[in-house]
Structure 1
Amino acid sequence: MEEEQEDLPNPNQASEKTLDAASRKHAAMLERLANRKQSLSSRKPSSDSNPDSFESTHSFLSRFSQSKLSIDSDLSRSKSKSDLDRVSISISDLEKLVAENSYFLPSYEVRTCLKTISDLKQTVENVTSEIVPKKKFGFKNKKASTGFVPEIEPEIQAFEQEKPSYPIRELPGFREKENEVLVKEFEGSEIGEFTISDLNFCEVRLKGCLRALFVHRLRNCKVYVGSVFGSVLIEEVEGCVFVLASHQIRIHHARESDFYLRARSRPIIEDCNGVRFAPYCLSYDGIERDLREANLEEETGNWANVDDFRWLRAVQSPNWSVLPENERVGGVTISNLDE
């Protein structure tokens, strides 16, 4: 009987073991929580390790405002292209600052800051056109101009605000065509503004230099353009392919279209979806001369630096992408305009 009693479990010992196990689990849990807290703290950027990180919207806006005033001051004193290059670097730094701190800023403040940066870039372009004269084309009877931006600004504003006074119907161009190849070569005094609108399943070939190009309501079209030393404004296109070189490119309401671009400034998209971008790939006899005279002979890489004005987050916009190399056209030649 005594041996049998020795074999029976001791209730007090079992209770002590249970308490020990619970204590160990509790201690382990506390240790995990402490490690997790330490890990999260190490991830949080500190003011010492990252001077551009801010604890509040107020402090960020104060820094942003100071940087903007400094850029304005530098712009007012700019006398050469090297001065403007330094200003452009400051603007890029300011843009990076907004992206790095957008995670805690209200969306309204992000939008306001990006609009300010866009205005600063436009001002730099305006001042550049005044300080650095455009190369002379040598065409006769051409009105003198201080730069491409001031000349086309009224058209840009009318296009974006959809004013009834927008002169699209008054400009020369191709309109209301279907299943046609439309060809135009610009020479001498013909250089100017051109419009393409209301086309379906057409191919457009524009050879030479243009001052501005307006594109409106195209479906399943291919558009090949030599060089534009002003702006290209594109609206309401779907299923199209564009190959063009221009100083400034703005794209509105585009769907499932590919753009092969060479641009002096970053292309701008708004209210677009499924648009893809690749480098310029057009060739024809004399294109090197046209690109050189329009100051577009160098590849800037801006075709891949697209600004989506409807996407204010720091991450990549889902509305555009880089066209995969295996899906790009090898090159487009329009030397023989009759073919």
Structure 2
Amino acid sequence: MEGEADRSDASADASALRKKHLAMLERLSNRHQSRPDKPDPPPASSSSSSFESTSSFLSLFGESRRSIESRLAQCRLADPSLLKLHFDEISASIADLEKLVAESSYYLPSYEVRSSLKTISDLKQALDTLSSELIPKKKFSFKNKPARKEPTAPSLKGADAENCDSMPAAKGGSLAVAVPDSPGFRNRANEVLAKDVRGLEVGEFTLSDLESCEVRLIGCARALFVHRLRNCRVYAGPVTGSVLIEEAENCVFLLASHQIRIHNAKASDFYLRVRSRPIIEDCSGVRFAPYRLHYRGIERDLEDAGLGEEAGNWSKVDDFKWLRAAQSPNWSVLPEDERIETVDISDLSA
């Protein structure tokens, strides 16, 4: 009975922390939308507010980290039949923490961002190691694997293409952080996937496990999450918050956002308009150029998102895994003669 009570208390603590995460993310999103369009630095009078925001972030981040570490330790004492549930909950908490850092990075000092990302990386590694130790007989995944389908199986069409909600499993034995359960396109191949995101109630959109697809997103979203794309082209309207990209190979992205973080991308091109420096980690062969997307009404959407002016940050990339003063060899500016022409997606079905 005492063990059940402890598990109940831990679950309640995790739920409370996730609610704090979501509340803070909502405040940060509202702050993004209320900021002026000009990319000039804030006046000196705002330094107190910035300090308070950083203090609040560090307090919540520390509390969340300690909770995750405590739950990792408790897994060794958990009922084996409940281990997967515990791992799911911890994975979701790590994903929330990573999202919190991304949403907060525009006002945090760079060393705080680096330290927070290192902590998240350590938590992922600890969870990976623990899951391999406690569940050694089969590959661990955070979500139930969908039934295996033959490559020739028919794909979803119409409304199902816009609301496909199956969750991907870990690939190649690696540990995958839970993909956000938001509207999006998942587990698709060789298709044109189009969506007007202006009517999304939650404001978030997810692209996950796509191969050889062309994605067209019109309108403003609050956040865009990209997981495991290969040989894809993604044309997206402005994002008022953050774009988080995890695993992309041989892809082309046209993105406009306040903050863009790219992890584990290879041989991909990024055409960006961004209010802060793009962040890359564990990337190779990625190239950058200015945003080249058009659809009817995009100018107004860019203004509404605070992205009406080109700040030139697309070429000021921060490689968080390259600490030397010399230019990182993992990214480069895309030569002008190799850049694509402006892409027009006004007709979503074209």
> What is the TM-score of this pair, normalised by structure 2?
0.53
CA contact (8 A) 1:152 1:230 kept: no
1:83 counterpart = 2:13: no
Map residues 235-274 of structure 1 onto 2, 5 A cutoff: 235-274=246-285
Q: Distance in 2 between matches of 1:255 and 1:263?
A: 20
Change over 3 Å in CA distance of 1:294–1:167 after alignment to 2? farther
Map residues 72-151 of structure 1 onto 2, 5 A cutoff: 81-83=42-44, 123=54
Q: Distance in 2 between matches of 1:81 and 1:154?
A: 20
Residues 200-243 of structure 1: CA distance to partner in whole angstroms, max 9, x if unpaired? Answer: 10000011011111101111000000010111000111000000
- SS of residue matched to 1:290: helix
Percentage of pairs with the same residue: 60
Q: Distance in 2 between matches of 1:193 and 1:280?
A: 21
Letter in 2 for 1:187: R
Map residues 1-339 of structure 1 onto 2, 5 A cutoff: 81-83=42-44, 123=54, 152-153=99-100, 162=124, 168=179, 170-188=181-199, 190=201, 192-339=203-350
Q: Distance in 2 between matches of 1:256 and 1:283?
A: 24
In structure 1, stretches of 5+ residues that fail to align are 1-79, 88-118, 127-148
Q: Distance in 1 between matches of 2:297 and 2:196?
A: 12
- SS of residue matched to 2:43: helix
**Greater relative contact order (CA < 8 Å, ≥ 6 in sequence):** 2
Q: Which runs of 4+ in 1 moved over 3 A?
A: 84-87, 149-152, 154-167, 188-191
Change over 3 Å in CA distance of 1:279–1:154 after alignment to 2? closer
Letter in 1 for 2:250: G
> What is the TM-score of this pair, normalised by structure 1?
0.55
Residues 147-199 of structure 1: CA distance to partner in whole angstroms, max 9, x if unpaired? Answer: xx999517877986657595525211100100000001022453611110101
Q: Distance in 2 between matches of 1:315 and 1:338?
A: 45
Q: Distance in 2 between matches of 1:284 and 1:307?
A: 30
CA contact (8 A) 1:191 1:209 kept: no
Q: Distance in 1 between matches of 2:344 and 2:42?
A: 35
Work out the number of aligned pairs and report it. 206
Q: CA deviation at 1:263?
A: 0.4
Q: CA deviation at 1:282?
A: 0.3
Larger of the two Rg values belongs to structure: 1
Letter in 2 for 1:202: C
CA contact (8 A) 1:228 1:245 kept: yes
Q: Distance in 2 between matches of 1:228 and 1:159?
A: 24
Q: Distance in 2 between matches of 1:215 and 1:188?
A: 20
Change over 3 Å in CA distance of 1:237–1:150 after alignment to 2? closer
CA contact (8 A) 2:97 2:120 kept: no
CA contact (8 A) 1:152 1:212 kept: no
CA contact (8 A) 1:174 1:196 kept: yes
